[in-house]
């Protein structure tokens, strides 16, 4: 019972690794199995098909970011200001995509390549996460701390796009994670700032 649960995790993690690097169609069960130190058919003991395995990777990746951001926000003191909350969300999002997770990366990089049915499920989760950010921005605008003179959706998407592509150009050898986070917070806060 215990051991098998660990094997399952190993296969899932291996799938995330390959999926984030090779793309949906390029992810071969043999490669996943090799990374997981297992034979390919072992996958079928836990999943009914390759598609289901990969779909789970995407789901987990999506939830990882969402959950970590929400948890980070909830950890803030109740009186935290709207801008402070946005800063925290930026940090949390970057922490997941830069530090933690082949899963998040697999979800981001493959969003446009998913088979139609899985893509639809993914879009639901994406909208739920977008709602978190919509709330953050709306609150900040209502509090008069952010600009109200640009299309909020476009601005939000620009920010999320910038965050999601950070893994394409940043790696730990270039300096501490905290530095990218700080830079990103500055740029985003100014980008959304009120015209003065």
Partner DNA sequence: CACCTCCTCTAACGTTCGTTAGAATCTAAC
Partner DNA sequence: GTTAGATTCTAACGAACGTTAGAGGAGGTG
Give contact residues for its own copies (rule: CB under 8 A): 20-27, 109-113, 147, 149-151, 153-155, 157-166, 168-170, 179-180, 183-184, 186-188, 190-193, 195-196
Distance of CA 91 to the CA centre of its chain: 12
Answer with the entry of DNA, its own copies, none that 14 interacts with (C-beta below 5 to 8 A by kind).
none
Question: Is position 3 an interface residue for DNA (rule: CB under 7 A)?
Answer: yes
Task: Quote the least distance from Cβ 55 to its own copies, whole Å.
Answer: 15
d(CA 4, CA 6): 5
- 49 binds DNA per the rule CB under 7 A: yes
Determine the length of the chain: 196
The nearest distance, CB 46 to DNA, in angstroms, is: 7
Question: Which of DNA, its own copies, none binds 173 (CB below 5-8 Å, type-dependent)?
Answer: none
Residue 28 interacts with DNA (CB under 7 A): yes or no: yes
Nearer to its own copies, 132 or 155 (CB): 155
**35 sits near DNA (criterion: CB under 7 A):** no
Tokens of 6: 């660990």
Is 86 within 8 Å of 153 (Cβ atoms)?
A: no
Which of its own copies, DNA, none lies near 131, with the C-beta cut-off 5 to 8 A by kind?
Answer: none
**Residue 178 binds what, of its own copies, DNA, none (CB under 5 to 8 Å, by partner type)?**
none
Whichever of 38 and 182 has its CB closer to DNA, that residue is 38
Half-sphere exposure of 117 (CA within 13 A, CB side): 4
Measured distance between the N- and C-terminal CA atoms of the chain, rounded to whole angstroms = 62
- Closest distance between DNA and the C-beta of residue 26, in Å? 8
Of 56 and 138, nearer to DNA (C-beta) is: 56
Footprint of DNA (CB under 7 A): 1-4, 7, 27-30, 38-42, 44-46, 48-51
């Amino acid at each position: 019972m215990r051991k098998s649960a660990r094997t399952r995790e190993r296969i899932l993690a291996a799938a995330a690794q390959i999926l984030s690097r090779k793309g949906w169609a390029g992810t071969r069960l043999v490669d996943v199995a090799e990374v997981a130190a297992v034979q390919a058919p072992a996958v079928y003991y836990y999943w009914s098909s390759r598609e289901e395995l990969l779909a789970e990777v995407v789901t987990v990746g999506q939830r990882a970011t969402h959950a970590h951001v929400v948890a980070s926000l909830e950890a803030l003191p109740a009186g935290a200001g709207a801008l402070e909350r946005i800063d925290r969300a930026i940090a949390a999002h970057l922490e997941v995509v830069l530090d933690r997770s082949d899963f998040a990366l697999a979800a981001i990089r493959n969003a446009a390549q998913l088979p139609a049915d899985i893509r639809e499920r993914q879009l639901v989760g994406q909208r739920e996460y977008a709602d978190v950010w919509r709330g953050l921005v709306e609150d900040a605008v209502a509090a008069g701390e952010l600009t109200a003179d640009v299309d909020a959706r476009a601005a939000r998407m620009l920010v999320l796009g910038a965050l999601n592509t950070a893994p394409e150009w940043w790696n730990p050898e270039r300096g501490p994670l905290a530095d990218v986070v700080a830079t990103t917070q500055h740029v985003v806060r100014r980008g959304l700032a009120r015209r003065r």
